[in-house]
Structure 1
Amino acid sequence: MQQTTNTILMIRPINFRMNEQTAVNNYFQEDLDLKNAEINAKAQVEFDTFVDKLKEVGVNVIVENDDILMDTPDSIFPNNWVSFHENGNVGLYPMFAENRRKERRDEVFIRLEKEGFIINNIIDYTSAEDEGVFLEGTGSLLLDRFNSKAYCALSPRADEDLFIEFCEDFEYTPIVFTAYQTVEGKRKAIYHTNVMMCLAETFAIICLDCIDDKKERRNVLKHLKEDGKEVITISEDQVNNFAGNMLQVRGKNDKRYLIMSQAAYDSLTEAQIDTIEKHCEILSSSLETIETCGGGSARCMMAEVFLPKKN
């Protein structure tokens, strides 16, 4: 199994704004004092620049436009509702915010099949929404595809039982913990695992300070180290600058890149940058509007496509 892919699915926003339905437990979102049309226009510029940078280094980016009739302000973050796997399986996930459920669109699958990808089976967990149970794709699930391990920080958007069910269906070993951030002096569960942790082929970036339980922290570290990953720790302040929200992808000639936002890059120390660059090159892009209003960053915008291709 490959840990990294050369193909990324991205959704170009049409109605991007601060989503009032996700702000209740995404403490990274802030209200910009701008009209929605202005926010969307700025987000589109950031999106297009980001896509151009990825394409320049040889990443295969499949851009699908959002549907204007849907009113889906967070559609720019497709990794939360879908995951694509090497055996042709697709995971469909239950979403906390009702207006995010409309992001799941068959057009995306039709587009991938047109691009020559094979979808064998859709494993659909979305009926869990009826019970108020959620698991938001590779926002909640951090997949070590090579070692068949899945890391999950439990939160209102990541249910433990459903996570275990996913691991049984997709044959992953589950590693469960809770990650917290300080919000107005209180410790609150971080909404997605992928804002405090990133898994690459030979290294992992993680905020250990977010894992308050020492036993859970030791367990996560044990798994990372036994799989030979160099562990790069980041601070909570760096998490707030989206330094956990990164993704390793492959460009032309299979060259590896760690993709992150400009804010994430600017928050890193020289020593952290040097350590990352021992493993792969860094590619960053400014995502200021998307991060501020959406509460998500570079990794959230990229749904990795591992599906097999037709010969």
Structure 2
Amino acid sequence: MKQTTNSILMIRPVAFRMNEQTAVNNYYQKVLDGLLPATVNAKAQQEFDVFVEKLRAVGVDVTVVDDKEGSDTPDSIFPNNWISFHENGDVALYPMFAENRRLERREDILDTLEDKGFIIDNIMDYTSAEEDGFFLEGTGSLLLDRENGKAYCALSPRADEELFIEFCEDFEFTPVIFEAFHTVNKERKLIYHTNVMMCIGETFAVVCADCIDDKKERKMVLESLKGDEKEVVLITEDQLNNFAGNMLEVKGTDDRRYLVMSDSAYKSLTKKQIAQLEEHVTILSSNLDTIEACGGGSARCMMAEIFLPRE
């Protein structure tokens, strides 16, 4: 299986704001004081549009679907949490922690992709786990090393171990399970999504190893990556707080490799880290300040990779 794709799905927001339902365990979210909701949404739309433009300019095939007016879906801009698309024609639908995020799942989006020539053979639906209070939020919770058949998961209230193992059995991935923490008000709290602290590219990985407090687990994760001949670029917790872990490698024109991140992530990197990454990829960054502040997610969360076969 290939690790990266040229095709991504992105959802343009219509009612973006800080989602109070996710803020209980996403400590990156903030209310922007003095800004009306309409202003916040307009700023997010502007950031979104510029971001899409930059991706398309380098040849990334971006399918943009507008969120639905009147739906209470403030986090719809982050589709990678509720859906994933796989090379064998499978689509996975995931159980979401926040009730209003469950409203983001839309069948018409699958119709849109089929209209574009993508082939969907089978839907793996894990959403019934919501009824029992178990969650696994897509490629936010799961970090897939497709080429090496491994799936990395930092357990959290939004990433259930048994569900993760079920996914790995269904999709034939070897599970790599650990816990990752960050400091919030001087307390170590579980990081809500794996893709905040880690990114896996074709030939490299970006990891905040300092988040993996258990030394055995930390060693296991790093050895797993290095054993697959990934160059590991370590980031600090401060860089993680600037969304430096929330990156995604995509393909542009002529299969050129790009590492996509926010401006804040890029600015937090050292010259040495940038040089390390540029040995592998061309860096593409965009200003996502409003989206990061209110949504508590960044560039990677906004892109759902499409690996589906095409007609």
TM-score category (smaller protein):
over 0.9
Indicate whether 1:279 and 2:280 are aligned. Answer: yes
Distance in structure 1 (CA, Å) of the matches to 2:188 and 2:216: 18
Counterpart Cα distance in 2 of 1:224 and 1:46: 33
Q: Which amino acid aligns with 1:18?
A: M
The corresponding residue for 1:223 is: 224
Q: Does 1:252 align with 2:253?
A: yes
In structure 2, what is the Cα distance between the partners aligned to 1:32 and 1:107? 32
- The SS at the match of 1:293 is helix
Task: Give the AA of the match of 1:38.
Answer: T
Q: Which residue of 2 aligns with 1:200?
A: 201
> Which deviations, in whole Å up to 9, do the C-alpha atoms of 1:2-59 show, x marking residues without a partner?
1000001000000000000000000010110111100000000000000000000000
Query: Could you give the per-residue CA deviations for residues 57-88 of structure 1, whole angstroms, max 9, x where no partner exists?
Result: 00000000000121200000000000000000
Tell me which residue corresponds to 1:94: 95
SS in 2 for 1:128: helix
Structure 2: which amino acid aligns with 1:4?
T
SS for the counterpart of 1:45 is: helix
1:6 aligns with 2:6: yes
Which residue is equivalent to 1:156? 157
**Secondary structure of 2:217 counterpart:** helix
User: Counterpart of 2:48?
Assistant: 47
> Paired residue for 2:145?
144
* 1:1-311 superposed matches below 5 A: 1-33=1-33, 34-310=35-311
Residue 298 of structure 1 deviates from its aligned partner by 0.1
Distance 2:261 2:8 in 1: 14
Q: 2: CA distance between counterparts of 1:126 and 1:164? A: 15
The residue identity in structure 1 corresponding to 2:64 is V
Which amino acid in 2 is paired with 1:195? V
CA distance in 1, matches of 2:225, 2:181: 20
Give RMSD over aligned pairs: 0.4
Q: Which amino acid aligns with 1:158?
A: A
Q: Once the two structures are aligned, what percentage of the paired residues are identical?
A: 70
Residue by residue, what CA displacement relative to the aligned partner does 1:164-213 show, whole Å, maximum 9, x if unpaired? 00000000000000000000000000000000000000000000000000
1:241-295 deviations in Å (ceiling 9; x for gaps): 0000000000000000000000000000000000000001000000000000000
CA distance in 2, matches of 1:108, 1:288: 27
| Structure 2 residue matching 1:68: 3-state secondary structure | coil
Unaligned stretches of 5+ in structure 2?
Answer: none
1:279 counterpart SS class = coil
Distance 1:38 1:280 in 2: 35
- What SS class does the counterpart of residue 20 from structure 2 fall into? coil
Deviation of the 1:148 alpha carbon? 0.6
SS of equivalent residue, structure 1 residue 63: strand
**What residue identity is the alignment partner of 1:253?**
D
CA distance in 2, matches of 1:189, 1:280: 30
Quick one: distance in 1 between partners of 2:253 and 2:131?
43
Aligned length: 310
1:234, distance to aligned residue in structure 2 (A): 0.1
